[in-house]
Each structure stands twice: as C-alpha cells, then as structure tokens.
Chain A
Amino acid sequence: MTATQERPALEIGKDRRRKEDQRLITGRTRWTDNITLPGMLHLAMVRSPFAHANITSIDTEAARTAPNVVGVFTGSDFGAEMGVCINAWPITPDQKTPNHAPMPSDRVAFAGEIVAVVVARTAAEARDAAELVDVEYDELPAALDLKKAAADEVLAHPDLGTNKSALWVFDSAQAGTGGNVDEAIEKARGDGIVIEREYRQQRLIPAFMEPRSVVVDPTGEQITMWSATQIPHILRFALAATTGVPESKIRVVAPDVGGGFGGKLQQTPEEMIAFAVARRLGKPAKYTETRSESLMAAHHGRDQWQKLTLSAEKDGTVTGLKVELLADLGSHVSLVGGGIPVLGAFMFNAIYKFPAYQFNCQTVLTNKTWTDAYRGAGRPEATYAIERLMDELAAEVGVDPLAIREQNWITHEEFPFTTVAGLEYDSGNYEAATEKAKAMFGYDELRAEQKQRRDAGDPVQLGLGISTFTEMCGLAPSRVLGSLDYGAGGWEHASVRMLATGKVEVVTGASAHGQGHETAFSQIVADRLGVAFEDVEVLHGDTQVAHKGLDTYGSRSLVVGGEALVKAADKVIEKAKPVAAHLLEASLDDIEFEAGRFSVRGTDQGMAIGEIATAVFAAHNLPDGMEPSIDSEATYDPVNFNFPHGTHLCAMEVDTETGETTMRKYVCVDDIGNIINPLIVSGQVHGGLVQGIAQALWEEAVYDDQGTLVSGSFVDYLLPTAADTISFETEHTTSPATTNTLGTKGVGEAGCIASTPAVVNAVVDAVRHLGVNDIQMPCTPERVWRAVNSGGDGGDTEGAAMPHFDESEPGQDSTEGAGA
C-alpha cells in the first residue's frame, strides 16, 4: 500500500512505434475479407455498363441454374426491407435529392451501378454466374460534362426536371461578418486590381489499399455486419433508419480497415444489398469488391469548376473575394456528398484579412460515379484556389508571393481572430512557420538560381511554389453542424475501464483505419492516469464494444475523441479519490494525485491508481454508499473547430522541351499545436503530402464521351509510389490550440490540403516568364508543354486509355503469340 514509484517519463511527445504495426504490416490480422463463417455465401454484383439507361429486362434464368448458385436477386425482388442510401446533409431546404436505391430496378444513373446480385457457395461460382445474367438496357442520353450538366442540356434524372441540386450561398454582408463583395470588386475595377480566374478541381479516386468488403451474419439474435468502413456507428444508424430493423438488433464491426481517405465514409449499396440478401436467405453472406469495381463504383472525390474573383488595392492589399463553384455530385447526393464543397465555404479566405467575401456553390447531378469525402473534403479545393490566387496577385503587383501573403495575413498578435467567414481562429503564428520554412528551404538561394536559369534561357527552368495554408478540422461543434442542416452532431464518446489487475481498457467511438489511435490514445491515457503505456488497451470499431461514437474523418479523432478520453480519464481520478482517502484513512481534501499515485499531502502514504482499481473490484472496503466502480465515460462536444496551419515551399524543375516536371525540394513547417506522437504525425504529413502532390501531378479520373471510366485500372489511374517522390523536409512550430485540454490540432488532412497548390504554384512559377499563368491539374507533361508552347492551361485530358487491356484490340482474344 505504500509502494513508492518513480514518476514515469511522459508518454506524450514520445516517438512511440505504433502498437498496430506488427499486425497491420504483416497482414496477420482480421480484415473483413479474411472472415469466413460456417455456411457463408458469396455475392457477385452485376453492374451497368451504361452511364444512363432504362432497364428493360433482366433475365436471371441462366445464372440461377449455374453450379452452386443459391439465388439471383434484382431490385424488384426486394421491397422496403432493402432500405436506401441516405443523404445525411441536405444543404438547403429545397435541395433536389434523387432517391438512391441500392439496386434500382428501373433506371441506372452511372456506369457501375448495381442491377442484380448473384449468390453462390463460392466467390468464383458467383462471379461465373454473374456473367450469365442478361440485362437489356434502353440507353438514355447521359449528363457527363459538369458545365453542360449545370445548364440542364441533358438530364441525369429526367423526373427531377433539372440537374441543379442545391445552391448554397454565404455572403459576408448578409451575415454581418464583413462588407459587400460586389462593391469591393466594382471599386477595384476602377482604382485597384481585379484577378479573375477559373480553376478545375479534377475528379479523384480515393484508391484506398484495401478494397471494400462486407460480411453479414443474420444467424444470431442480432444481425452482425463486418465492413471495411470508417463509420461503423453511422452505418448502423443508417441501416436501422432505412430497413426497419431496430438499431438494437444490429451490430456493426469495422475490424482492421486498410485505409479510407474519406472513401469509406459511406453507407454503400453493397452493404445494403449484402444486409438484405443475408436476411432474406438466413445465411451469412460476403461481398468483396474487385479493384476494378472499387475504382468504378466506390465514391469519387473533388470535381469542381471554381470561378474566382479577387479584388485588391493597387499595392496588393486584398479587399474582396467572390467564389462561384460548380460541384459535381455524380449520380446521387450521397451520405455527405452535397456538403463537401460547403466544408470549403469557410476556408477560401484562409489566413488573409479579406474585408468582404461571398461564396456560392451550385451542386450538380451528372451520370458519373457519385462523389463524397476525399482527404481534406472541401478544404483542399478552397486552399488550392486561394493559394493560387495569391500567387497571381503577387505577379500582378510585381512582388514576391511570400511578400503579398505577409502583407495580407493575420499577424500572431491578432489571435483570436474572427474571419470574414465568421469563424474564430484560436491560435497560430504564420510569421514563425514561414520564417522557419524559408530558412530550411534556402529560399533566397533558390530564387537566385531561378533568375540565373531564366537569364540563361536554360531549357530546364526552376519554379518556387508557396502554400501558406490553414484549414478547419476536428469535425465538429454540434451546434455549427445543426446550423448547416447536417443530420447529426459532432461529439465523440470515450470510456475508461479500470480492470482488476490494474490494466486499463479504453473504448473510443472513433474508428481507426490506419491512423494509429491505439498508440496515440494509449500515450494520452498513460500520462493522464500515470500508468504504463503497455498497460493501456484501446478498443474501437465495434458498436457492441464502443456503443457510442461518430467515427473517424475530418481530422477529428484526436482533437474530439482524444478530448473525450481526457475527460473520461479525469472522471476516473475523481471517482478514485474518495476510495484513496478511505483506504489511506485521510481526509479527501488531503489527497493529491500525481503520476499515477494518490498520496496524502505532507506524508509518504499513498496508493497507485492500479491498487485502487483492485480494491474497487474486490469492493470489500469502500466508502459507505459508494458504487463499486471507478470506470468512467465522457461525451465531448467540441467548442470550436481547430485550425492547423503551415508554410509549404516546393521547388519544381520544368523541362520546357518535354513539359516534364521534377520535384527538386519540398519543405513544410506545420503548426498542429501540441504533438502526441511525432512519428505518427510524420507519417500523416508525409502520406498527406504525397496524396496532395498526386492531385497536382498525376491522378485524374477520366471518362470518355459515353460516360465510361477510362482510368478504370491502375494502368491509367496514376497512383504514385515511393519511387516517384523525393525526401520531404518536415518541421513544426507550435501554437497550442486553446479550445482543447491537450492543445492539439488535427493533422490527418493537413499535408494533402497544403501540398497541391504549392506544387502547381511552383510549376507555373517556373514558366510564368514564358507567358503562362495557369496549368490545369494534373500538370501532365503534355499540359505543361502545351501551356509553354501555345498558351492556355494545357487543355482537357483525352478520354482514352492505353490499349494494354482493351478487349476490343486484336490479339487478346486470339491465340497468337506466346502470351507474355
């Protein structure tokens, strides 16, 4: 009882290797597709090859009689028990939202939509039989091009009468957060500077490593669904809300999940179909998508046209910003698809002191794969636009792009700062991050080299790109979500269970899918309760274990879920204190808690928290009337978003003869407040940078004029590997968040948000003296070459794949040659 213990070294701030890595890296763990249940059936989907068509007939006879086929179902075989895919965020009261049946029976609205499901005893037999389902379609004209769709030239859903889903507007004059933007622009047309640009956010595919997979077991009292999802709790809600099965009868488990990037923030048709089929047949059922299906039918991201008008005084002081977006929803308004561009609404003004601001977003339905969250979700689009515009303004004024930013940004003395979009930025120091980044980068030397190359007419030019980004993350204060008509709150739940052996079980409502929560959360609890890191176990991702939660996305798990954990741990200490006083025979007022030990002030008497836990378990000797438990839980609703920021500097070499771009140097100094685990942060930053750079240079989901996804394999959807990137130099400055106990800010999306404009700014900067002021993303060598040689932004991507796997090409269905 009087055992003394050394104060353990603080865990927070330690470069802990991730607990998860052994099992995740070796693959010796439970992914959804590894799950095999007795009597389990396998599903294969029959998907529409057409972007828009009426289904005239579906002949399932041949498939039904194929070996070991148990059933073939179409949409008409199910009634209301199939449920629907919900839209949880209608952004306006009059939003047009087409019904989203998981398996429509009358009309398909994108190429890849499911029209039938085959159930067989093995996955191979299901796939074979799926080939035998004969669907006849009556093709309809498809709405494909975003701008044409916005003009209602062809309707994606003829019954709706329009493709325009919702118009969402924020105006600082109306909101009382700033002036009238049209007046600011008008004034600038007379005596200042007006920059008008139109930027394209190309369509991207999240391309997580583990394809989506779902297993449903209807044989217990509860129906259990395992799914490779980011959102087990939201998924359970959606299943219950739309199928009529009580929420209490559904258990959703997200076992180890191999990445999501927002792509698994969805309630999918595949999950709904597996749920319905398993219930119908009374047997466990599994569906795992192929990579081709994943690229085609898992939701896509971004896809906007951004019309931007920035006004400034002659000296470059910004006076107004007007944003007019067209956002491609694809075929349906998915879970939060309509809200994604709105998440950018508050971020176009970024770190700059715009006196007037207006944001208009028109969401548009097309006959392409539906879009939804993708790493950054709304904020990369905003950051790209403003950081590109600031470079354009600098060029117009004739000053260095860093100088124009410094002239307009919020200085560190001005925090907390209420922006023209109505957000309160709690902390930050743009000057400090920029100064550090400049020094690391060797900014002045690189500028000198750039000048020398320009003067010499070197075929390889050098460009420097800047992104002084900020973002809002830690989704989200529930009252703000309510004001935006989002269908849920933004709180998070945690509980701390003190086990009899002195070990600690932590349950979080966040649902990790590669982030490292088990490690970081253990570090937080170890420090808070003064127990060993190894003695903390973090449980998550199962609605029966973590009964309450809102899952993982929007850089929220640490800043919201971590704070819930702190509050739950503090409650454990508060509950344990009277027990300690009782056992130590001291007054409650004399009990102190430090480093895991309750002690009597002024004595050497004390007990470790683990000893208290054991005593509470035994319950032999507790204060009168005390409940024999010190377990605690907390639900935390954040009081504000938090606002990571940073200065990213990128040097790109551009070969003007070929248009090839080569990254020379990338430096970033991010301010994400206090850091729990620098190693995990480093992983998040590096991964985020590559994903953002990939948007700038490589990735693009391309459709042909029939609405077929041309970049339907990794041959044509260019995902970079380590071989395509350089070593990044990452550093930090620290302005702790003032709105949570730990002083942390989100980091999951920061790299991805910041890096895209840094790269494109560098590419444009390299060739600006050749008359170029924009290159459309991705900045392919061809686009760069065309921009240099014939002006413009490089033009659209040809809607044709390389023919390696094209069935129409000769040789592939003949027996010629020796194969390869």
Chain B
Amino acid sequence: MIPAQFDYLAPTSVEDALAALAEHGDEAKIIAGGQSLLPVLRMRLNAPEMVIDLGKIESLRGVRDDGDAIVVGAMTTHHDVRTSDLVREHAAIITHAVSELADEQIRHRGTFGGALAHADPAGDMGAPALALGAVFTIAGSGGTRTVPASEFFVGLFETAIGEDEILTEIRIPKHTGWGAHYEKFVRIKHQWPIVAVAATVRVDDGTITEARVGLTNMGNTPLRATAVEEALVGAAATEDGVREAAAKAAEGTNPPSDLNGDSDYRKHLAGVLTRRAVLKAAGG
C-alpha cells in the first residue's frame, strides 16, 4: 500500500505550522499521530500535495494543571494521557476511555487532539470530552479562540476547526472525585466501538447528585445524553434507581446502520450500556 507522492513539512512551532497551512491551503493536510490519516493515504482515498506534521512542536505536548481545569496539549499521545495522574485525578472518565482505545501500539502513536480533530463518531475521545464540557483552543492567523465542546463537533468528520486553523489544546474542567466508567461494546477487542457510553457521576450517600453522560457512535458526532443526566440527579445509585433514566439514552439519536448492527439495535444497546456505565461509575 503506497500513498501517492506528497511533500512533507515538520514545523517546530505553531506559528510556522499556521504559516505553512496558509501557504498551501487546500493542498495541505495536517498529520498528528497518523493513525487515521495514514491508512487513508495508503489506500489512496486522499492525496494531499503537502502533509504538515505537528510532531515536532514540543509545546503541543503534555498535561498541565490550570486551577479549576487541566489542560491537555493536542499532540499528547493517548499513552501519555492514559498514564497522566492529573487526568486520572480530575477527569477519570478520560483515563477509562483512553485505556479502551484501540491497542497499545496505536495509543503510543495516536494523539488526543488528533483523534478529537478527526471527529470520527466512533472515536473514543469525543464522548468523554463532550461529557466533561471540554473547551477547545484553536489557533489561527488572527490568534487563538476557544470553542466549547458543545459547538466543536459539527458533523461526520467535521469540527469547528477552520481550514486555516490548528487545534492546540483542550481544557477540561476538573471533575475531581467523580466516579467514572466507559462502557464500550465491541465484537473484537481492537475494533472501533459499535456503541460506547462515557459516564461520570458524583455520588453522595448512595444518591447520584450530578451526572455527565456522553455517547459514542450514536450519530454523526459524539452526543451528550442530557435527558439521562437530568433524570439521574437524585436517583439512587442502584440498578432500579438508574433504570428509568438510562432508558432515555437513545432519545433523539440517529445512529448508523452497518455490518456490526442496525440503527435500532444501537439504540437498544445505548440504553443497556448507559445503565451499566452509570452503575459502574457510581461504584455499583
């Protein structure tokens, strides 16, 4: 599998990367970890003339504490996110989800920002980022702007990142002490999820006081199950307590049909998996 010929740039700063992007415009494609772009190039489904590699921009790597939030650099690998104590302590749902993402080789290559910017609705990072209300920092020629997760995912493989812009970091409000669980449904282990549910909850004395629930692969974008979140508040952290709320998971969704399952089966799964995810997140 040989890609079509392309030129390659590896700038060492965001400014240089933006300049390269401005210069090459439509002909350029940005590469982060390459775990989705390279197969596309090798299968010749896309043939950009210029590939701009962000891998040499050190400032885009790493996780830092920033008061009421943690900030993850867009080029931080999944492996580094997975092993980050800051993420584990303040955004445990991301640790859970990234631990289930693909396999160890891919986690060492693929990046947090790359996966989010690629916006594959079956990607594992979207639902947790959405559930936690992440804020995306996007750099462009005119400076940086921030976009809330609720506005970041626009459509299938489409985000709020403009053609001349680069995602630089993701700011995640701290959810310290929240229980978390990522319930991923696959047929074989290294598969993209057929459906997955990211749930993180605050439990006080056996009662759920706050809940955030994100859905993977239940539509063209990651989705937030707000109806479930609202219904969970005040619910007992028991099978019976969460059953009714979880049943709302598929409300308003339009999941795809493919060889792993029809749309209506995915809707059914979403309810079951949400119940399980919430219970496990609540320590039940």
Contact = CB atoms under 8 A, between A and B. Distances in A.
Interface string B29-60: 11111111101100111101000001000000
A323 B111 CA distance: 54
A220 interface: no
Interface residues of A, number: 54
Interface stretch (A87-95, A406-414, A810-818): A810-818
Interface stretch (A568-576, A602-610, A733-741, A777-785): A777-785
Contacts of B46: 807, 812-813
Contact of A698 (B156, B157, B188): B188
A721 B189 contact: yes
A805 B32 contact: no
Interface in B144-197: 155-159, 161-163, 166-167, 185, 187-192, 194
Contacts of A702: 259
Interface string B53-80: 0100000000000000000001000000
A519 B29 CA distance: 51
B117 interface: yes
A782 B163 CA distance: 39
B188 A820 contact: no
B43 to A, nearest CB: 6
Interface string A226-246: 000000000000000000000
Interface in B225-278: 256-262, 265, 268-269, 272-273
A786 B32 CA distance: 41
B156 A810 contact: yes
A786 B43 CA distance: 35
B33 A780 contact: no
A297 to B, nearest CB: 14
Chain A interface, >50% SS class:
loop
B35 A820 contact: yes
Contact of B157 (A711, A797, A809): A809
A269 B200 CA distance: 56
Contacts of B39: 713, 805
A292 B259 contact: no
Given A721-B188, A723-B189, A818 B261 contact: no
A131 B33 CA distance: 27
Given A131-B4, A292-B1, A816-B159, A804 B30 contact: no
A805 B1 CA distance: 14
B97 interface: no
B54 A797 contact: no
A809 B113 CA distance: 21
A810 B158 contact: yes
B257 A800 contact: yes
Given A798-B258, A805-B45, A810-B158, A818 B189 contact: no
Nearest to A800: B258
Nearest to B45: A807
Interface stretch (B85-93, B118-126, B127-135, B205-213): B118-126
B52 to A, nearest CB: 9
A814 B28 CA distance: 9
A1 interface: no
A802 B122 contact: yes
A815 B25 contact: yes
B94 interface: no
A1 to B, nearest CB: 61
A399 interface: no
Nearest to B37: A819
Interface string B1-44: 11011000000000000000100011011111111110110011
A801 B29 contact: no
A819 B74 CA distance: 11
A812 B157 CA distance: 7
B156 A809 contact: yes
Contacts of A799: 259
Nearest to B167: A818
Contacts of B110: 820
Contacts of B194: 781
Complex A-B, nearest 7 residue pairs according to Cβ-Cβ distance, in ascending order: A811-B157, A820-B118, A817-B117, A818-B117, A820-B114, A820-B36, A723-B189
Interface of A: 123-124, 127-128, 131, 290-292, 657-658, 660, 697-698, 700, 702, 710-711, 713, 715-716, 718-721, 723-724, 780-782, 785-786, 797-807, 809-820
23 contacts: A124-B5, A131-B4, A292-B1, A657-B272, A658-B269, A711-B259, A721-B189, A782-B265, A800-B258, A802-B258, A802-B259, A803-B256, A804-B122, A804-B192, A809-B157, A811-B157, A812-B45, A812-B157, A813-B45, A815-B30, A817-B117, A818-B30, A819-B32
Given A658-B272, A810-B157, A810-B158, 12 more contacts: A128-B2, A802-B256, A802-B259, A804-B36, A805-B40, A805-B43, A809-B157, A811-B119, A812-B46, A818-B117, A819-B30, A819-B31
Interface of B: 1-2, 4-5, 21, 25-26, 28-37, 39-40, 43-46, 48, 54, 74, 110-111, 113-115, 117-120, 122-123, 155-159, 161-163, 166-167, 185, 187-192, 194, 256-262, 265, 268-269, 272-273
